[in-house]
Chain A
Amino acid sequence: MLLVNKIYSYLRFKSHNAIFDNLFGWIIVFAAVLGWWAISNSISELVMPGPLAVGKMLIDLFSDPIFLDDILISTIRVIFSVVISVIIGMLLALISKGFPITEIIVQERIKPFLNSFPSVGWAILAVIWFGSSSFSVMFVQIAILVPFCLVNLSEGLKDLDEEIIEMGRSFSRKKIKIFFKITLPLLLPHVIAAVRIAYGVCWKIALVSELFGAESGIGVIMLRAQTTANATMVFASCFAIVIIFMLGEKFIINPLARLAEPK
């Protein structure tokens, strides 16, 4: 074990650190795929499809217009749910900060209630209440995401520099003006953090929310695949979500975070 560490440190020292780490990471991914391939060769396709079959299915998923529609619908739902939940979470956090009498209501009633409410519970209730529709899917997602946003934004409001707000008050008495010119810009890093967390959680629960209450989306593809014992498709839809999640993080969330950084 010590020898391995020494070789590693030596190689790392000799090459450019970041490049070496990255290369090494990919070698490990490659080894994992190879291992998967070896296992899948000795087990039935029905139980453990190989990486090649899953890869083919993934390409199908992203090229067939019918599947692409489902993926697009899921993505749009996720984006809207995240935006709406951040807004609701922000409103709740602001209410509990702005009207001290509501602090316990928001922080010790609404927050723990939403936080401990199981997601499947929302999913089942939404179908009973609203039937199968995009609305019920988004209702489930928003109900699950709001507590995450609320926690983050309340923390942010707690960290706000009161002195700066007081200074703002000495310039203007308009609360709306102070909010948009001072509070919101100061809060921006926390808003981005809330968006990031909500986005990650939302993709994870997108499937749960689509299992009962949707007629389209990746969740429906997956459930259909499971009932027909199509393990390849189950795998492929899981990976599809991982891929879309990572793309969104890289091309939407990270640029947003960079924009919000204080200059």
Chain B
Amino acid sequence: MNFTARYSKYRAAHLFTILCVLIWATYSFFVEAYLMPGPWPVFIRFIEFFSDFDLIVHMLWSFFHILTAICIAFVLGFVIALLPFYVFVAKTAVDKRFTPFLNSFSGIGWTLLAVLWFGINDFTVIFAITMVLIPFTIINIREGLNQLDKEIIEMANSFTKSKWKMLKLVIIPSLYSYLFASIRISFGVAWKVALTAELFGGNKGLGYLLNLARQDFDTPLILVVILIIVIFVYTTERFIFKPVENTLAEQNAIS
């Protein structure tokens, strides 16, 4: 693709973005403000959001919920995924029963059950997010373990009998790209689930704000919360995960 073609494609995309905002603005002109506030009120609300300390604290709580859940889900998923690797009996249990079950159990179900079990608090939120993330982590890491090069494992086996050394020096390094993929997917999913979990089971966080805004018909705030999440997910994907993915791909290409 030559430079001018690429340039005109981007120009078309920017025009499209501007057009969308214009349509939004015109539409908001004709309907009630609570139905669809225009871009300008939403923008002002956005600025207000970041000058209000309480609201920022809510956002930070959401960060905390999400990061904790991702870490817990990652560790648990990793252990569960490794289990069949060492104890063969667990293979059917993990691959055919446990993972499909978790995978088809809905996130809302976990949230509502957690509210009944633990009440409305941070633990409920983190529990619900973790339960949703675990199957994603397991599926990814299991896939990586299935792709492991049998020959390399055999070679490593002839060098050492130590299971720990083997795990640290051979298995985990060859799983890097899958571990990365599981964190990346977890991150995208966690944001979406966190809102639901906080909405029903939390007393702080962006989801809680969303619930308040919903009850007050404060549509600008709803849009601001959504906007924050869209911006956040997009920028991390674009500026953190994409570059890391490229570096990983380069390293794999070299070795």
A residues neighboring B (CB under 8 Å): 1, 4-5, 8-9, 21-22, 24-25, 28-29, 32, 46-48, 100-105, 108-109, 112-113, 115-121, 124-125, 128-129, 200, 203-208, 211-212, 219, 222-223, 226, 229, 231, 234-235, 237-238, 241-242, 245-246
Contacts and interface: CB of A to CB of B under 8 A. Distances in A.
A6 B145 CA distance: 21
B92 A226 contact: no
Contacts of B195: 118-121
A104 B92 contact: no
Given A121-B229, A241-B104, 12 more contacts: A8-B89, A25-B96, A29-B97, A32-B97, A101-B9, A104-B9, A104-B10, A116-B188, A116-B191, A203-B104, A231-B116, A238-B106
A125 B219 CA distance: 8
A-B complex: 6 closest residue pairs judged by Cβ atoms: A116-B233, A238-B109, A104-B13, A121-B226, A207-B108, A25-B92
A238 B230 contact: no
Task: Please classify how large the interface on chain B is, using the bins under 10, 10 to 19, 20 to 34, 35 or more.
Answer: 35 or more
A2 B10 CA distance: 59
Given A108-B13, A118-B229, A238 B210 contact: no
B176 interface: no
Contacts of B89: 4-5, 8, 24
A131 B90 CA distance: 48
Contacts of A223: 112
A47 B35 contact: no
B16 interface: yes
Contact of A109 (B17, B103, B106, B113): B17
B87 A4 contact: yes
Contact of B108 (A100, A118, A129, A211): A211
B115 interface: yes
Interface string B189-221: 001100110010000000100100010010100
A203 B232 CA distance: 26
B230 A103 contact: no
Given A238-B105, A241-B106, A118 B191 contact: yes
A125 B112 CA distance: 22
B117 interface: yes
Contacts of A229: 116
